[in-house]
Structure 1
Amino acid sequence: MDGGAGPSLFPLHRCKTLHLVRHGQGIHNVDGDKNYKAYLSPEYFDAHLTPLGWQQVDNLRKHVRACGLSKKIDLVITSPLLRTLQTAVGVFGGEGYADKADVLPLMVANAGNSGRAAISSLNCPPIIAVEHCREHLGVHPCDKRRNISDYQFLFPAIDFSLIENDEDVLWKADIRETKDEVAARGLKFMNWLWTRKEKEIAIVTHSGFLFHTLTLFGNDCHPFVKKEICKHFANCELRSMVIVDRSMAGSNDSTTNYPGKIPSGLDLPSDVAVENKLEREEPDSGFT
């Protein structure tokens, strides 16, 4: 069927379910939404969540539990910035941390001036930090991260092993990524997802990254579907989408397919028996 003309069919093992989340309101968003130039302010370096942002996180946490999503997610991927790390652990982390528990907390108490209690890493999916899903790089101090060693102290149970450099070598004070460069980075990130074995993944990231990345998708859909994919995310908004591997990039076999195991012999269905008989026959030599 032509793209956009009707429903499409894909093998389940060539699909992943992505739960895309924009972080809760950060301190930079309050003034930045009123005046874009406020994003240039050094005081918003690696902006943390506002009290309203934490309320948004609490509301989303309640939602993912009420709808059963929290039990389905295999992995949480987060951008390594304070506001996304706080959102990721607040939404998808365990309950309150008990000091006597023999596990590291996902977040220590009052991390990033949050005023929040420590969060447990028990009974929740693993959370890993990935540079590829960071916000638009350069110029804006709110989008510059601190050293990974600082984050490891604040978020002990988050996996930062995929990040090569302790210092932020990607953010430049005088050079800002173009929109096309953000989109290209986003596409690279999406392709990387196919190297992961997990099938249901939550991604906690940023408005600009989501918008520029998602504009590359949906061109084979109805215009209303394209619009639904690409519209800007609100703070702490979650949208669930399915990404399809059309290029055989994923190599995993299906865990649910069953080949049928039809026994050989006279009890074969007639159409299968005929096909098998034709396959076994020698090519016609022309002699009778």
Structure 2
Amino acid sequence: MYVDVWWIWPVALFVFTFVIGVISPLSGVGGGVLFVPIATAFFPFDIDFIRGVGLVMALTSSLSSTPQLIKRGLANLRIAAPIVAVSCVMSIIGSITGLWISGEFPEGKDYITILLGIVLFIIFGIMATSKRVEIPIVEKQDKISQKLGISGSFYEPTLGQDVEYKIKNMPVAIPIFAAVGFIAGMFGLGAGWANVPALNLVMGAPIKVATSTSMLVIAINDAAAVWVYLANGAILSVIAVPSVLGITLGARVGAKLAARARPKIIRYLVMCIMLLSAVVDIWKGLQGLGYIGGG
């Protein structure tokens, strides 16, 4: 006798995203970066729906934290404004491009799955090699940053004083964020994996300002990109609702565990998971194209 068990997948999604939510605050990796590649590799959902929900998840987490970060003076609107002016447009173009490839070409979804695996290898490389500088010293600003008056200060409790900072290399940073915005929109990935190193190492923002401003950038970019997926019917509530609930509840648990956990070990575990997902996604895409047996 046939039994309808459609509810198994929403429940599995809730459990899966809850685990991602717990891991994210401990590892410093956004939920969307984990959700999209793993769900693409191991869940039987269309990649367009997975990418759409990935953006919704990244948007949910960023919107929940950004107002408080701005209030505390950590998320800098002056830094974000010139960045999102470019990256926001590119995230929309990336979303349109990804959905166009999926819809126009029979093998489009398989090619996007392969590209996703390649992007994961790039993210893995960035995570493995990038270093964080708590408070970089910026001796000279570029002309754009000077004219826009991009600087700021925040209170650092460990030092017991306000920390003032300036930004550099805006002409270099803008094309970087344009590329990241395109990738985020096309694959439904949160962009913290690239935003934070760019803000911290390229632009010289203190690490707390970099992580906080990254959340602000993600909130604006993903809010624009997600409408493209909504307009094309690529966001299903049966996938989105359990995923958002799971990652939201899991993030609260992860935030409480962060003080007692060993972030470095968890970060290495996440990198291994991402590497495995990259291999599986590329394999799945090649299989769909018929280059590997079973497609």
Greater helix percent: which structure? 2
With CA pairs under 8 Å and 6+ residues apart, which has the higher RCO, 1 or 2? 2
